[in-house]
Structure 1
């Protein structure tokens, strides 16, 4: 790579990292061209040399956060045996990640898509993320006839809506009160969904 291309890549990286830091700590409401530029150490005019607008940057951050979450989930569930136990470990690690980074949860599930990016693949990218994390385990369970494809589709939907609801109430309303109570509620919900796979 030539020096100019390396420098451009590095500067783009500074802007992306600055945006990610703001999103993690303060949420989308604090993301502005000036805030990003200040944190990155460049003028706000420089940002437009590398990105179309702030939404373009935020969309790149969504992709980065998904990769980060995926790596976290992989690490946390690595030693768990395949199948239902692995699926359970993935779901719990997914919850843990968003509890640690509530700003990312808000970005994924509470912000209007028009505030993130107008690209048509933004919604499926976000709503399909949990399925993507669990894809191998669901395939394995279906192949081993632990669950039918129809039942798996129903369970996937129930888990997405149920876990998103649990996170929403805990992060924004502190219900249930305290992380141990949240974890207990999450375990109970996951158990109820995985207990009878073919229902």
Structure 2
């Protein structure tokens, strides 16, 4: 990395850190280019030298809040006896953290970020946390670094086919419905359509996800997300 690239990376991190401070102090809904510029001590035009739009800055800053999910995910996954168990447990962990901070997870996974949001995620981890995954299994790395929600959990579902718990046809159905259920609950919480706390929303969502899995499971025993 040459001096120019190092300088650009430092400025990039500086603006992202300023955005994180604003989120901590005022909430993600109050992040604006003007607020970021004031916090960082630069004018707004300078910020656009490094970011195409404010949603990208919010996205990068919001990713900092995934750390709690990243840290707890291996503990959840270790409880699973097989791939379908781990699929449910990974969703339980994701629901718990996303419903505790719904605006942050909306900014990462549902907000309009343009044509190639996955490239933003790849760049973030190359700059910020290149060594954070050294002790993680490949399954967990995918759940953390993959932007597309359907792709994130597809690996465990595919393993469930290999282990004889699901058919290939069932995998696509479960994947699609699970993502739609989570999206619906997150938006419901953000829009105050139902007054559920994070635990209640997680339990309700996991109830629906578990029912879907049980409906398509080839095993005789039902799966639950509580271990």
Q: What TM-score comes out, normalization by structure 1 length?
A: 0.74
- Give the deviation of 1:23 after TM superposition: 5.6
| Contact in 2 for aligned 1:20/1:61 (Cα 8 Å) | yes
Taking the TM superposition and a 5 Å limit, the aligned residue runs for 1:115-194 are 116-117=113-114, 119=115, 121-122=116-117, 129-173=148-192, 175=194, 177-194=196-213
Taking the TM superposition and a 5 Å limit, the aligned residue runs for 1:1-199 are 1-22=1-22, 26-27=27-28, 29-58=29-58, 60=60, 64=63, 68=67, 71-72=70-71, 74-81=73-80, 82-108=82-108, 111=111, 113=112, 116-117=113-114, 119=115, 121-122=116-117, 129-173=148-192, 175=194, 177-198=196-217
| Contact in 1 for aligned 2:99/2:201 (Cα 8 Å) | no
| Higher helix proportion | 1
- The number of equivalent residue pairs is 191
| Contact in 2 for aligned 1:72/1:97 (Cα 8 Å) | no
Backbone CA RMSD of aligned residues? 3.4
Distance in 2 (CA, whole Å) between partners of 1:78 and 1:109 is 21
Query: Tell me, what secondary structure is at the counterpart of 1:42?
Result: coil
Going from structure 1 to structure 2, the CA distance change for 1:88 and 1:55 (only over 3 Å counts) comes to closer
Which residue does 2:224 correspond to in 1?
none
Distance in 2 (CA, whole Å) between partners of 1:171 and 1:71 is 23
Q: What TM-score comes out, normalization by structure 2 length?
A: 0.67
- Give the deviation of 1:83 after TM superposition: 1.2
Query: Tell me, what secondary structure is at the counterpart of 2:78?
Result: coil
